[in-house]
Chain A
Amino acid sequence: MNFVKTLATAALIASLSAPAFAETFTFTAIPDQDDSALKARFGKIANYLTKELGVEVKYIPVKSYSAAVTAFRNNQVQLAWFGGLSGVRARNLVKGSQAIAQGAEDKAFKTYFIAHTSTGLKKSSSFPKSMAGKTFTFGSKGSTSGRLMPEFHIRKNFKKKPKNVFSRVGFSGDHSRTIALVQSGAFQIGAVNFAVWDKELKTGKIDTSKVSIIWTTPDYPDYNWSIRGDADKRYGGGFIGKVKKALLNMNDPNLLKQFPRNSFIAASNDDYAPIVSVGKEIGLLE
Chain B
Amino acid sequence: MTASISSNGFKAGSKPRPLLRISLGFLVIALVLGLLGDFEITTLDPWIEIERMVAGIITPDFSATEDLWSAVVNTVAFAILGVALGNAMGFPLALAFQFRAVRILCAFIRSVHELFWALIFLQVFGLTPLTGVLAIAIPYAGIFAKVYSEILEESDPAPLQTLPKGTSSISTFMFVRMPDAWAHFKTYALYRLECGLRSSAVLGFVGLPTIGFHLESAFSQGRYSEVTALLIIFYVIIATIRKWVHARLIPLYIILALLVIPWTGELATSNLVRFFTYDILPHPLRVAETFDMGTLSALGAWLSIMWNEQALPGIIATIILTQVALVGSGALTLLFFPLISPKFFNTFGRTTGHIFLVVLRSTPEYVLALIFLLLWGPSMLPAAVALALHNGAIIGHLIGRYTEDMDLRPDSPKGLNLYAYDVLPRLYPQFLAFLFYRWEVIMRETAILGILGIATLGFYIDSAFADLRFDRAMFLIIVTAILNIGIDTLSRYIRGRLRLRTTADVV
Which A residues have a C-beta under 8 Å from some C-beta of B?
16, 33-40, 60-67, 69-71, 74-76, 89, 93, 135, 137, 140-142, 168-174, 176-177, 180-181, 183-187, 205, 207, 210, 284, 286
Query: Which residues from B are CB-within-8-Å of A207?
Result: 48
What is the distance, in angstroms, from B62's C-beta to the closest C-beta of chain A? Answer: 14
What is the distance, in angstroms, from B411's C-beta to the closest C-beta of chain A? Answer: 54
What is the distance, in angstroms, from B199's C-beta to the closest C-beta of chain A? Answer: 16
Whole-angstrom CA separation of A35 from B223 in the bound complex: 11
What is the distance, in angstroms, from A14's C-beta to the closest C-beta of chain B? Answer: 13
0/1 interface trace, chain B 64-108, chain A, CB 8 Å (1 if under) = 111100000000000000000000000000000000000000000
| B271 part of interface (Cβ distance < 8 Å) | yes
Query: Which residues from B are CB-within-8-Å of A67?
Result: 122, 127, 206-207
Contact indicator A64/B373 (Cβ below 8 Å): no
Query: Which residues from A are CB-within-8-Å of B223?
Result: 36
Interface-lining segment among B23-31, B159-167, B213-221: B213-221
| B496 part of interface (Cβ distance < 8 Å) | no
Query: Which residues from B are CB-within-8-Å of A177?
Result: 220-222, 370
- 16 pairs across A/B with beta carbons < 8 Å? A36-B65, A61-B209, A63-B204, A63-B213, A64-B207, A64-B466, A66-B467, A70-B468, A71-B126, A71-B127, A74-B126, A135-B377, A180-B49, A184-B46, A184-B48, A186-B46
Contact indicator A184/B467 (Cβ below 8 Å): no
What is the distance, in angstroms, from A174's C-beta to the closest C-beta of chain B? Answer: 4
Query: Which residues from B are CB-within-8-Å of A39?
Result: 66-67
Whole-angstrom CA separation of A174 from B221 in the bound complex: 7
Query: Which residues from B are CB-within-8-Å of A135?
Result: 42, 377-378, 453
| B451 part of interface (Cβ distance < 8 Å) | yes
Which B residues have a C-beta under 8 Å from some C-beta of A?
42-46, 48-49, 64-67, 122-123, 126-127, 204-207, 209, 213-214, 216-218, 220-223, 226, 265-268, 271, 283, 370, 373-374, 377-379, 450-453, 462-463, 465-468
Query: Which residues from A are CB-within-8-Å of B266?
Result: 16
Whole-angstrom CA separation of A69 from B126 in the bound complex: 11
Query: Which residues from A are CB-within-8-Å of B127?
Result: 60, 62, 67, 71, 76
Whole-angstrom CA separation of A33 from B221 in the bound complex: 8
A184's contact among B44, B379, B450, B463, by CB below 8 Å, is which? Answer: B44
Query: Which residues from A are CB-within-8-Å of B468?
Result: 66, 69-70, 89, 93
Whole-angstrom CA separation of A76 from B105 in the bound complex: 32
Query: Which residues from A are CB-within-8-Å of B377?
Result: 135, 185-187
A66's contact among B64, B452, B453, B466, by CB below 8 Å, is which? Answer: B466
Contact indicator A142/B467 (Cβ below 8 Å): yes
Contact indicator B453/A171 (Cβ below 8 Å): yes
Instruction: Tell me whether A186 and B283 are in contact in the complex, defined as CB-CB below 8 angstroms, given that A170-B452, A284-B467 are known contacts.
Output: no
Query: Which residues from A are CB-within-8-Å of B65?
Result: 36
Contact indicator A74/B268 (Cβ below 8 Å): yes
Query: Which residues from A are CB-within-8-Å of B462?
Result: 141
Whole-angstrom CA separation of A140 from B452 in the bound complex: 12
What is the distance, in angstroms, from A165's C-beta to the closest C-beta of chain B? Answer: 13
Instruction: Tell me whether A210 and B217 are in contact in the complex, defined as CB-CB below 8 angstroms, given that A39-B67, A63-B205, A67-B207 are known contacts.
Output: no
Whole-angstrom CA separation of A34 from B207 in the bound complex: 16
Whole-angstrom CA separation of A168 from B450 in the bound complex: 12
Whole-angstrom CA separation of A171 from B458 in the bound complex: 13
Whole-angstrom CA separation of A76 from B265 in the bound complex: 8
Query: Which residues from A are CB-within-8-Å of B370?
Result: 177
Query: Which residues from A are CB-within-8-Å of B450?
Result: 171
Contact indicator A168/B378 (Cβ below 8 Å): yes
Whole-angstrom CA separation of A186 from B268 in the bound complex: 45
Whole-angstrom CA separation of A195 from B57 in the bound complex: 28
Whole-angstrom CA separation of A210 from B47 in the bound complex: 11
Query: Which residues from A are CB-within-8-Å of B374?
Result: 180-181, 184, 186
Whole-angstrom CA separation of A155 from B42 in the bound complex: 26
Q: Which residue of A lies closest to B206 (CB)?
A: A63
Query: Which residues from A are CB-within-8-Å of B64?
Result: 36
Whole-angstrom CA separation of A74 from B283 in the bound complex: 20
Whole-angstrom CA separation of A36 from B223 in the bound complex: 9
B207's contact among A63, A141, A174, by CB below 8 Å, is which? Answer: A63
Whole-angstrom CA separation of A177 from B466 in the bound complex: 18
Whole-angstrom CA separation of A183 from B466 in the bound complex: 26
Contact indicator A183/B48 (Cβ below 8 Å): yes
What is the distance, in angstroms, from B473's C-beta to the closest C-beta of chain A? Answer: 11
Whole-angstrom CA separation of A210 from B467 in the bound complex: 33
Whole-angstrom CA separation of A187 from B283 in the bound complex: 35
What is the distance, in angstroms, from A88's C-beta to the closest C-beta of chain B? Answer: 11
Q: Which residue of B lies closest to A38 (CB)?
A: B66
Q: Which residue of B lies closest to A163 (CB)?
A: B455
Q: Which residue of A lies closest to B205 (CB)?
A: A63
Query: Which residues from B are CB-within-8-Å of A63?
Result: 204-207, 213, 216
Instruction: Tell me whether A76 and B126 are in contact in the complex, defined as CB-CB below 8 angstroms, given that A69-B468, A170-B378, A207-B48 are known contacts.
Output: yes
Contact indicator B466/A141 (Cβ below 8 Å): yes
Query: Which residues from B are CB-within-8-Å of A38?
Result: 66
A137-B378, A173-B451, A185-B377 given; 15 more Cβ-contact pairs under 8 Å: A35-B217, A63-B204, A70-B122, A70-B468, A74-B126, A74-B268, A135-B378, A141-B463, A168-B453, A176-B220, A180-B374, A184-B45, A186-B373, A207-B48, A210-B48
Contact indicator B222/A140 (Cβ below 8 Å): no
Contact indicator A205/B126 (Cβ below 8 Å): no
What is the distance, in angstroms, from B370's C-beta to the closest C-beta of chain A? Answer: 8
What is the distance, in angstroms, from B113's C-beta to the closest C-beta of chain A? Answer: 16
Q: Which residue of B lies closest to A141 (CB)?
A: B466
Query: Which residues from A are CB-within-8-Å of B126?
Result: 70-71, 74, 76
Query: Which residues from A are CB-within-8-Å of B44?
Result: 184-186
What is the distance, in angstroms, from A90's C-beta to the closest C-beta of chain B? Answer: 9
Whole-angstrom CA separation of A67 from B462 in the bound complex: 12
Interface centre among A35, A74, A176 (most CB of B within 10 A): A74
Interface centre among B216, B221, B379, B462 (most CB of A within 10 A): B221
List of 9 A-B pairs having minimum Cβ-Cβ separation, nearest first = A185-B44, A170-B453, A63-B207, A174-B220, A141-B466, A37-B66, A176-B221, A184-B46, A142-B466
Query: Which residues from B are CB-within-8-Å of A181?
Result: 373-374
Instruction: Tell me whether A74 and B271 are in contact in the complex, defined as CB-CB below 8 angstroms, given that A36-B226, A184-B44, A184-B374 are known contacts.
Output: yes
Whole-angstrom CA separation of A183 from B175 in the bound complex: 64
Query: Which residues from A are CB-within-8-Å of B451?
Result: 170-173
Whole-angstrom CA separation of A173 from B219 in the bound complex: 11
Q: Which residue of A lies closest to B286 (CB)?
A: A286
Q: Which residue of B lies closest to A138 (CB)?
A: B453
What is the distance, in angstroms, from B311's C-beta to the closest C-beta of chain A? Answer: 16
A64's contact among B67, B206, B283, by CB below 8 Å, is which? Answer: B206
Query: Which residues from A are CB-within-8-Å of B271?
Result: 74
Whole-angstrom CA separation of A183 from B48 in the bound complex: 8
Query: Which residues from A are CB-within-8-Å of B206?
Result: 63-64, 67
Whole-angstrom CA separation of A12 from B117 in the bound complex: 28
Query: Which residues from A are CB-within-8-Å of B49?
Result: 180, 183-184
Query: Which residues from A are CB-within-8-Å of B42?
Result: 135, 185-186
What is the distance, in angstroms, from A265's C-beta to the closest C-beta of chain B? Answer: 28
Query: Which residues from A are CB-within-8-Å of B207?
Result: 61-64, 67
What is the distance, in angstroms, from A8's C-beta to the closest C-beta of chain B? Answer: 18
